[in-house]
Structure 1
Amino acid sequence: MTPRLLTLALVAAFALPVHADQSTKPAASPVASAPAAKVTGRPLLWKVSDADNDVYLLGSFHLLKSDDYPMPAEIDRAFDDAESLLFEIDPREMTAPETVATMQKYMAYEDGQSLSKVLPKATLERLGTLVSASGGSVQALEQSEPWAVSLGLVLGVSQAMGLKADLGLDRHLMDRAAKAGKPAGGLETVDAQMKAMDSVPYAEQAQGLDEFLVDPKKAVQQLQDMHAWWRTGDVEQLDTGMRADMARKSPQSYKLLDVDRNNAWLPQIEKRLTGSTSDDTLVVVGTLHLLGSDGLVEKLQAKGYKVERVCDSCEAAATE
């Protein structure tokens, strides 16, 4: 398993309605619980400015632990400074009754295919062995697309590690915005996000799933690494180990899940700068969307906006 499968599954994990994590799991976790990473928190936070107001870009991790809180003070300051928030999906849609049905629609086949038809024989056999060991049946997954099966497996691993979707930074800030009475919106709909997932070619979906099945325990270490990189705000490791890896090994997935969505979001974010003379906005999206030449940080910088990273301990380290 490589970070590209983790990334693909983490994208879908964000769209899960609160407390719906278990509904997508095809089997119990194939690995034992892993210890929490003991690291110091540094935010993946940037401030983008024009002549009269600011937009904060915050890289989120969609699955977190209770001991990931409280968040660094820089995030608190950005939240307090912002008059409104933007997430990948509108918080109201996250709790809408039809969200589960929308996800289930895209997780299933609409072209007469089935899991046994789109997976190579060896991959199907590995999957059967894994789910049988957990008391499940591969036949029960026959109408699930490979990305949906992968999502269930990654959620099984993450649950064993204590990482949960309802503890993700997005969910935390959605709740906080609601309590503070701050308006919050979305950059895309659940339907649009699921359509992007569903558009990933079967071959790339199957390849990522097979890599997991060949060595499930490797996923624990990789998810641990990604979580630790996020906690320490390690842009270089996240970029090379997550974004660049996905771009290189799964170019179509990368285009659909990262590049195309970034391009669709960019005008909406830029409007928060050009359309206001005073109000600031906190934009919270998966960290992948902020990194590299395809990321929102460099795209806004290329448009001439002032962009600076907000990281107290980074500044202190640079001074030393």
Structure 2
Amino acid sequence: MYFQLTGTHIRLLGSMHLFPATSRRTPPWIAEAYDWADALVFESDPATILPYLKAVAQPGAALLRPLMRDDAWTQLQALWPVDGPLAPLEALRPWAALVVAPTLLQQVVEGVEPRMLRSANAQAKPYRYLETAQDVAEALESIPLEALAAALDLLMADRGEPQRTLERMHAAWLDGDLQALQRIAVESPAFNLPGIRRAILDLRNRVWAERVGEWSDASERTLVVVGALHLCGPGNLLDCLGRPVTAVF
């Protein structure tokens, strides 16, 4: 869950973006990693993704309607906020509906990154990002509409699954058990649909590996913080880097 890229001053940390509200505990290696680092690198700036959620001058999530079960679409509409930046559902990009929907069914508190960012800002510790909001949007745009619709159908058929999965993943993460995290992810039906893992993990891992590799000669102790699922399973970031790593934890 926490690795040193051998022969460099780079470490990689597997994070949880959100914690279940019932368990806010953070393992000790999170603080150790933060204290070790001279600079931090995060995936992307969440605030900048908001403008990309809306389908401007193109069809939005309404494209999913004919591909979903009638009852699933009705449930999704009833679940959706009626105002605010996420409303209305039909105006969002199709992939945004899938990204947002599980969070509407979860009881969560902030995870690793917001806490680290607050500390970094308070201590003037520098940080940067692996990708832009546009990079994220372009990767997610590659998910086929049929896969998005199927994933939302599955989600509406078992609305308790996102919370159960989050709690199980958080427990495995606290134990530093990447293999358990991968098993839990594979058991999530939507994760195995065509194009979803590729867009969320595989495509981005390959791009990130190139960027991290460019910093291999830097003298600054750099902590790269990514979602823990990016560090396990086929095509994970560690494999994409193509360099030996040593587990710090």
The 1:280/1:145 distance shift into structure 2, 3 A limit, reads: same
Give the aligned residue type for 1:309: A
2:4 alignment counterpart: 47
Say if 2:24 is the partner of 1:68: yes
The answer to whether residue 211 in structure 2 is matched with residue 268 in structure 1 is yes
| Counterpart-to-counterpart distance in 2, 1:121 and 1:209 | 10
Q: Give, in whole Å, the separation in 1 of the partners of 2:237 and 2:203.
A: 12
Q: Could you tell me how far apart the structure 2 residues matched to 1:268 and 1:122 are?
A: 38
TM-score, length of structure 1 as denominator length:
0.67
1:310 aligns with 2:248: yes
Counterpart of 2:199 (choices 248, 256, 262) is 256
Distance in structure 2 (CA, Å) of the matches to 1:114 and 1:235: 36
CA RMSD of aligned residues (A): 3.0
| 2:43/2:129 contact within 8 Å kept | yes
CA distance in 2, matches of 1:251, 1:120: 19
Alignment correspondent of 1:222: 165
Between the two proteins, what is the percent identity of the paired residues?
Answer: 27
Give, in whole Å, the separation in 1 of the partners of 2:194 and 2:78.
33
Distance 1:118-1:75 versus aligned 2 partners, 3 A rule: closer
Out of 64, 70, 73, the position equivalent to 1:118 is 64
In the alignment, which residue of structure 1 is the partner of 2:53?
A: 104
Could you tell me which residue of structure 2 aligns to residue 235 of structure 1?
178
Amino acid at match of 2:246: E
Matched, 1:201 2:158: no
Other-structure match for 2:99: 151
Q: 1:283 aligns with which of 224, 227, 241?
A: 224
Q: 1:195 Cα deviation (Å)?
A: 2.1
1:202 offset after TM fit, Å? 0.7
Instruction: Report the CA distance between 1:189 and its aligned residue.
Output: 0.4
**What is the rounded CA distance, in whole Å, between the counterparts of 1:144 and 1:124 in structure 2?**
19
2:112 maps to what in 1? Answer: 169
Bigger CA radius of gyration: 1
Q: CA deviation at 1:266?
A: 0.9
Look up the SS of the partner of 1:283 in the other structure.
strand
Contact kept? 1:246, 1:254, Cα under 8 Å: no
The aligned counterpart of 2:33 is 78
Which one is further off, 261-270 or 243-252? 243-252
Q: Is the alpha carbon distance of 1:85 and 1:207 closer, same or farther for their aligned partners in structure 2, counting shifts above 3 Å? A: same
Contact preservation (8 Å) 1:200, 1:253: yes
Which secondary structure state, in structure 2, belongs to the residue aligned with residue 119 of structure 1? Answer: helix
1:82 Cα deviation from its structure 2 partner: 1.5
Structure 1 unaligned spans of 5+ = 1-43, 312-320
CA distance in 2, matches of 1:187, 1:257: 14
Q: CA deviation at 1:186?
A: 0.5
Aligned to 1:58, the other structure's residue is in SS state strand
Query: In 2, are the aligned partners of 1:146 and 1:205 still within 8 Å (CA)?
Result: yes
Q: Cα–Cα, structure 1 residues 118 and 132, in superposed 2: closer, same or farther, change >3 Å?
A: closer
Q: Is the 8 A contact 1:45 1:56 kept in 2?
A: yes
Structure with a larger share of its residues in helix = 1
Cα distance change, pair 64–101 in 1 and its aligned pair in 2 (3 A) = closer
Q: Output the CA distance in 2 between the equivalents of 1:121 and 1:299.
A: 35
Q: TM-score, normalised by structure 2?
A: 0.84
CA distance in 2, matches of 1:173, 1:267: 24
